[in-house]
Amino acid sequence: MIKIKKLLSKKDKSKIVCLTAYSKNVASILDNHCDIILVGDSLGSVLYNFKSTRNVSLDMMIEHSKSVRMGVKKSLMIVDMPHNTYRNKSVALKNAKKIILKTKCDAVKLEGGGKVINIIEHLIKNKIQVQGHLGLLPQSQKGKFKVKGKKISEQLRILNDAKLLEKAGVFSIVLECIKTPLAKKITNELKILTIGIGASSYCDGQVLVTDDLIGLNQINARFVKKYSNITKHINSAIIKYKNEVKEKKFPQKKHSY
């Protein structure tokens, strides 16, 4: 709770930095630079080549989160609750407790607004810290991903959902792929944090999938900026290794017992 209070104090003062991690090695690097490390169900597409996050299981999330936990010392660690693990209050509480017990994470994230508000309230009443998620909801999305908040009716619904989530007690909300004016309005009207992904610089912070920004995952979504081309560096290292093996330059005596 201390970490969350510290984050909330950054509202309107300092931008929140959030990235995803699915393993200890990556998490230990991110921990030096991030406020929040999210073990996202995006691991379904990034690591397992699933077409939908709906195929990610609770056990997958827990095992990856256990690895991430070993690399996180200072950042707030949040774990996505996968599809169908919070279909009602009792199931949600059982699974949220299991996630926290097994992974020692600080909070869980659920997708949706009014439809899951009773479930979120139930978790928070039972001392579970929750991050919300509005706009594009990958667990519910069917077909092509589309920007949210174009129609007035949709804008009003998302804004109302954001206020419901704040009232329920979530400490932050991920806003995914929503129009800039709506992201700005929500951020200005809420006292809690908004974390954007494809939702403009007006949000209190930003989140990206780490594999996307380092160029390991070949995605061309508009909201992704590639800060590195790690694939190029990996390829270069592998070529050097291959050549040294073939030319009998590796291993040398110092690499042998």
Which residues are known catalytic residues?
A: 176
**C-alpha distance across the termini of the chain, in Å:** 50
Here the tokens at position 24 are 């200890």
Q: How far apart are alpha carbons 124 and 116 in whole angstroms?
A: 12
Rounded to 10 degrees, what is the CA torsion of 188, 137, 43, 226? -50
SS3 (DSSP) at 20: strand
Here the tokens at position 157 are 């619904």
Q: Which residues of 137-164 are buried (b: 16+ CB within 10 A; e: fewer)?
A: bbbebeeeeeebbeeeeebebbbebbeb
Contact 106, 78 (CB under 8 A): yes
- Residue position matching structure tokens 């990856």: 64
64 CA to centre of own chain: 13
- Residue position matching structure tokens 């999210």: 38
